[in-house]
C-alpha cells in the first residue's frame, strides 16, 4: 500500500512538472511570436548572394562607414546562417549534423572573440565600432566562402559553379 502511494505521488509530481513545462513553453512561444511579428513589420532585407551586400569601401565618413559595415556584418551573418541551414538540410546523419553544429558554434565563438579583441584595441568608440563591424564582416565572408565550398563538395549541388 505504501509503495502504491509513493508511485502515485511520483506520478502526480511528474504531472505537475510537465504541466509547468507546457505552460512555460506556451508563454515562450507567444513571446517569440509577438517578437517575430514586430520584426516582420520593420522588414529587414534578406540578401540572397554576396552581391546583395552593401559596398562600404567608398564611404569616407567614419560614422557612416561604421553604420554601413554594421549592416553588412548583419547581412553577411544572415548569409552564413542560410548556408549553415542549407548544409544541415542536406545532411541526413544526426551525428554528422551535431558535429557540424559544434564546429559552427566553435567558429562563431572564435570570430566573436577575435572581433571583440580588435574592438578593445581601438582608440575611440567610433573606431571600435568600425573595427568590430569590419572584422565581423570579413570573417563572415570568409566563412560563407568556406561553407559554399563544403556545400558544393559534399552535396554536388547544381547551383555551384563548375570552377569551384
DSSP string, 40-56: HHT-----SSGGGS---
pTM > 0.75: no
Q: What span, in angstroms and rounded, lies between the C-alpha atoms of 138 and 131?
A: 11
Q: What span, in angstroms and rounded, lies between the C-alpha atoms of 49 and 3?
A: 64
- Give the residue among 158, 104, 113 at the shortest CA–CA distance from 132: 113
Q: pLDDT digit string (tens) for 35-53?
A: 544 444 445 567 778 888 8
Q: pLDDT digit string (tens) for 145-163?
A: 999 999 988 887 676 765 4
CATH number of the structural domain 52-155 = 1.20.1270.180
Residue ranges covered by each domain of the chain: 1-43, 52-155
Amino acid at each position: 500500500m505504501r509503495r502504491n502511494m509513493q508511485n502515485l505521488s511520483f506520478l502526480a509530481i511528474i504531472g505537475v512538472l510537465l504541466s509547468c513545462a507546457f505552460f512555460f513553453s506556451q508563454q515562450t512561444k507567444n513571446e517569440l511570436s509577438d517578437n517575430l511579428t514586430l520584426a516582420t513589420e520593420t522588414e529587414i532585407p534578406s540578401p540572397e548572394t554576396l552581391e546583395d551586400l552593401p559596398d562600404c569601401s567608398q564611404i569616407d565618413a567614419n560614422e557612416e562607414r561604421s553604420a554601413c559595415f554594421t549592416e553588412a556584418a548583419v547581412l553577411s551573418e544572415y548569409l552564413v546562417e542560410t548556408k549553415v541551414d542549407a548544409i544541415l538540410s542536406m545532411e541526413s546523419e544526426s551525428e554528422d549534423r551535431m558535429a557540424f553544429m559544434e564546429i559552427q558554434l566553435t567558429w562563431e565563438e572564435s570570430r566573436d572573440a577575435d572581433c571583440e579583441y580588435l574592438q578593445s584595441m581601438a582608440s575611440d568608440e567610433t573606431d571600435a565600432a568600425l573595427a568590430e563591424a569590419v572584422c565581423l564582416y570579413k570573417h563572415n565572408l570568409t566563412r560563407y566562402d568556406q561553407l559554399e565550398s563544403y556545400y558544393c563538395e559534399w552535396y554536388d549541388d547544381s547551383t555551384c559553379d563548375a570552377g569551384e
